[in-house]
Amino acid sequence: MAHVTREHLDRLLEQALLADDHGTLASRLYDVALDYSSGDVSRASILVQAAEEWRAAGQPARALECFQRALEDGGETSIDPRAGIADTLFELDRHDEAREVIEAIRRDGDVSAATAHSIAETLVAYGDLQGGHEWVTQALLTCDNDDPERVSMLRTRYRIRLDLGLPEDEIDALVS
């Protein structure tokens, strides 16, 4: 069993970026998660990172498995792993299942701004501009003014509103 530090993960990420090898990084992150005993980062967070790398490596089925394991683990993550599950289900052309996952997140309530933003981006990517608009607006209403992702959320919302042909509103005016 291993104690995982942020520095350890940073080294893995740096090596993979230099080699431009998402599959190897995903595999190494997955192995780290399996061997995990404690650390600065939760096992669930490591599994989410592994899932994202599997997606970047063009292996969505393996990504889905990692997202599901992160959800089962229940550890702290930056976004709800179900947002990643929904995005991956869309990628696998399992749209109805993806929408069911998103509705479950909505029903459960207490959605973090980062999770809502992720869902908004997913919905927009798969053609649901109105749904994306609702989720990113929710993200903005729940995030702190000093949230580092706030500007990205404002830009996402503004872009969606333009695509929907909606007029600028008071929230759009915050984009600078």
The predicted-structure confidence for 22-47, as pLDDT tens digits, reads as follows: 898 898 889 888 888 888 889 999 99
pLDDT score, position 13: 76
Residue ranges in the chain whose pLDDT is less than 50 = none
pLDDT score, position 163: 95
H helix runs in 39-149, sequence order = 43-56, 60-73, 81-91, 95-108, 113-125, 129-142
pLDDT score, position 153: 93
φ, ψ of residue 125 to 5 degrees: the values are: -60, -30
pLDDT score, position 14: 81
Domain ranges for the chain, please list them: 1-77
List all residues 6 or more positions away from 24 whose beta carbon is below 8 Å from its beta carbon: 16
